[in-house]
């Protein structure tokens, strides 16, 4: 008798950074773990964010029971507004995670209809066929959990993002004991974060940055600007404590830093001593050596507070010679150019800039487990099946190799990518086909938000080959061309323009018009297409370029 099959379906986050989203299915019950976004690569022109294609969930909308969140980083909760606008599902998360989600849903007008359910570590709850056990883990964010999901076949453990921090600043320890309990009977499946698998050893504790911050605060003779991820509550707490200890007033500059600090204060994760916090407008009221500014914009985002301050374009944050700027964050791959350009601007202002340079004690530590912590968790859980998650393909492969080398601790290792379906039953585990996955591009300013592939293709086309606008004035009554066609070009530099390119192009348009009947000239759709085709052939033959050609017909 084969009572049923458990399916694990990653919809994003395997083979790419970000967009973490995974479905688990048993019979008629589907639960979704995380709903992340990713920031676009440079070739996705004008796109603000990218979220996973949830076609699989929409096809099975009557079976999807809930979304479970491991923690509050954007690559795990950022896609929620788009999923909830299609499927109004109950959402389960810890207190701090839901506080971040509330702000996000309020922005999109979805908060009133949202079903948000707070969970606490070690408090189990049931959803359909699944019994969920949240287990506390440590990460660069507070209030993070891994999920032990009890299914009829056994326990599936989803690690979420984690590192094993023995001395977390909030005192909430990584719950190794619970993982060990599941290891006594061997968990069915371990899904484990691969982000730092290329790093040997252990990831340093959050407290490892304190000595360097102590040194920076002691040595800085003028204003001190500290930039960190707004979600790094541990780091915000540390900066607030240091400012107080060194007699500096603290100003928060940047919307994301303000919002995150406010939530953390409300929930008791950050306690800023009375009289320490000042409004950004008061920065100039105090002598430079008595001010510390916590400012957003670690990744060189063009309109962020730090980027604007770096080019002296911020109302309150003025960086002057001798000021110290600390970038307390990692460089996210793909952002190098923007960050180093910003650092150059800071040096032009004669500021002292401190960023991750690998020398001495660090100004930033990672929130993800390195190789020894990954081994530790595998040894504790002793899973029957192991699947690496969260990372690009090289990291998934390295992680799979690391797990496979641990003989006795792991039954068998499976490699998966987004869209693969892993099926487990009493006979074993296997890949069982694929579901449709993909990326949905979101352009926040547009009317429909979702950007079609065609639009991105047009944007790329314009950026590479430019645009040509032939403007033709046609007399509506006679069908005659009233003046010499005008040609406007943008972003298109045709070789040989000085050698009569314009006049030849005009002749091409003239010939097209001559060879068209009066009816064709009266039908602007037809005449536009004829001019476009003939001009396209002429430009392609003469320049080997394919600009976007958009004829404009003026009625006279």
Catalytic residues: 193, 368
Single out the residue of 34, 36, 15, 88 nearest to residue 442, CA to CA: 36
Structure-token pair, residue 360:
């001495």
Judge contact between 242 and 335, C-beta under 8 A: no
Judge contact between 252 and 261, C-beta under 8 A: yes
Single out the residue of 6, 407, 396 nearest to residue 197, CA to CA: 396
DSSP per-residue letters across 136-163: EEB-SSSSEEEEEEEETTEEEEE--S-B
Instruction: Please give the Cα distance from 324 to 304 (Å, whole number).
Output: 18
Helix (H) or strand (E) holding 430: strand 428-434
**Crossing angle of the two packed helices 393-404 and 371-381, in degrees rounded to 10:** 50
Tokens 């990744």 — which residue?
299
The secondary structure of residue 306, as a DSSP letter, is H
Q: How many CA atoms lie within 13 A of 496 on its CB side?
A: 11
Judge contact between 298 and 228, C-beta under 8 A: yes
Torsion of CA 53, 59, 62, 65, to 10 degrees: -30
Judge contact between 265 and 99, C-beta under 8 A: no
Judge contact between 142 and 162, C-beta under 8 A: no
Judge contact between 57 and 26, C-beta under 8 A: no
| Positive or negative: CA dihedral 289, 294, 295, 297 | positive
Between the alpha carbon of residue 164 and those of residues 130, 157, 193, 216, 554, the distances in Å are 27, 16, 12, 27, 69
**Cross-strand pairs, 410:** 407
Helix (H) or strand (E) holding 446: none
**Cross-strand pairs, 14:** 391
Q: Are strands 115-118 and 130-137 parallel, antiparallel or unpaired?
A: unpaired
Structure-token pair, residue 469:
């606008």
Instruction: Please give the Cα distance from 249 to 234 (Å, whole number).
Output: 19
Single out the residue of 142, 211, 199 nearest to residue 171, CA to CA: 142
Give the N- to C-terminal CA distance of the chain in Å, as an integer.
Answer: 81
Helix (H) or strand (E) holding 289: none
Q: How many CA atoms lie within 13 A of 376 on its CB side?
A: 17
Structure-token pair, residue 362:
């660090």
> How many residues does the structure list for the chain?
556
- Within 8 A by CB and 6+ apart from 274, the residues are none
């Amino acid at each position: 008798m084969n009572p049923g099959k458990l399916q694990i379906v990653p919809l994003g986050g395997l083979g790419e950074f970000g967009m973490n989203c995974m479905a688990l299915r048993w019979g008629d019950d589907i639960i979704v773990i995380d709903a992340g976004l990713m920031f676009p690569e440079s070739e996705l022109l004008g796109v603000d964010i990218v979220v996973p294609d949830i076609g699989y969930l929409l096809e099975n909308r009557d079976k999807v029971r809930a979304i479970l969140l491991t923690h509050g980083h954007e690559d795990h909760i950022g896609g929620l507004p788009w999923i909830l606008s299609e499927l109004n599902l109950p959402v389960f998360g810890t207190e701090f995670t839901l506080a971040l989600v509330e702000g996000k849903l309020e922005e999109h007008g979805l908060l009133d209809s949202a079903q948000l359910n707070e969970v606490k570590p070690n408090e189990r709850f049931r959803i359909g066929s699944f019994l969920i056990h949240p287990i506390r883990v440590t990460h660069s964010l507070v209030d993070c959990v891994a999920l032990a999901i009890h299914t009829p076949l056994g326990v599936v453990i989803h690690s979420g993002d984690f590192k094993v921090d023995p001395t977390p600043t909030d005192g909430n320890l990584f719950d190794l004991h619970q993982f060990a309990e599941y290891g006594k009977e061997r968990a069915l499946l371990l899904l484990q974060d691969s982000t730092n698998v290329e790093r040997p050893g252990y990831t340093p504790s959050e407290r490892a940055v304190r000595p360097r911050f102590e040194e920076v605060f002691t040595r800085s003779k003028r204003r001190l600007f500290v930039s960190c991820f707004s979600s790094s509550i541990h780091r915000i707490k540390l900066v607030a404590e240091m400012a107080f200890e060194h007699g500096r007033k603290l100003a928060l500059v940047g919307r994301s830093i303000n919002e995150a600090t406010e939530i953390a204060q409300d929930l008791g994760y950050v306690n800023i001593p009375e009289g320490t916090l000042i409004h950004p407008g008061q920065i100039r009221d105090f002598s430079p050596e008595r001010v510390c500014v916590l400012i957003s914009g670690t990744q060189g985002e063009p309109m962020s507070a730090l980027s604007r301050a770096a080019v002296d374009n911020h109302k309150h944050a003025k960086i002057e010679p001798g000021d110290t700027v600390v970038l307390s964050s990692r460089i996210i791959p793909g952002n190098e150019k923007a960050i180093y350009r910003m650092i150059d601007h800071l040096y032009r202002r004669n500021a002292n800039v401190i960023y991750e340079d690998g020398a001495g004690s660090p100004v930033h530590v990672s929130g993800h487990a390195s190789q020894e912590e990954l081994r530790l968790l595998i040894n504790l859980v002793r899973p029957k099946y192991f699947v690496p998650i969260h990372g690009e393909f090289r990291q998934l492969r390295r992680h799979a190799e690391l797990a496979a080398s641990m003989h006795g601790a792991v039954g068998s290792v499976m490699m998966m990518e987004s869209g693969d379906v892993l099926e487990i039953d009493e006979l074993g585990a296997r890949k069982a086909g694929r579901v449709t996955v993909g990326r949905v591009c979101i352009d926040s300013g547009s009317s429909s938000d979702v950007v079609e592939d065609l639009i991105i293709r047009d944007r790329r086309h314009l950026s590479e080959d430019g645009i040509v606008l032939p403007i033709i004035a046609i007399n509506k009554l006679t069908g005659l061309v009233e003046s010499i066609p005008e040609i406007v070009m943008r972003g298109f530099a045709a070789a040989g323009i000085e050698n009569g390119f314009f006049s030849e192009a005009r002749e091409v348009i003239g010939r097209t018009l001559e060879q068209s009947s009066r009816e064709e000239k009266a039908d602007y759709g037809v005449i536009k297409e004829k001019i476009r085709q003939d001009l396209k052939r002429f430009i392609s033959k003469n320049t080997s370029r394919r600009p976007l050609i958009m004829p404009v017909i003026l009625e006279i």
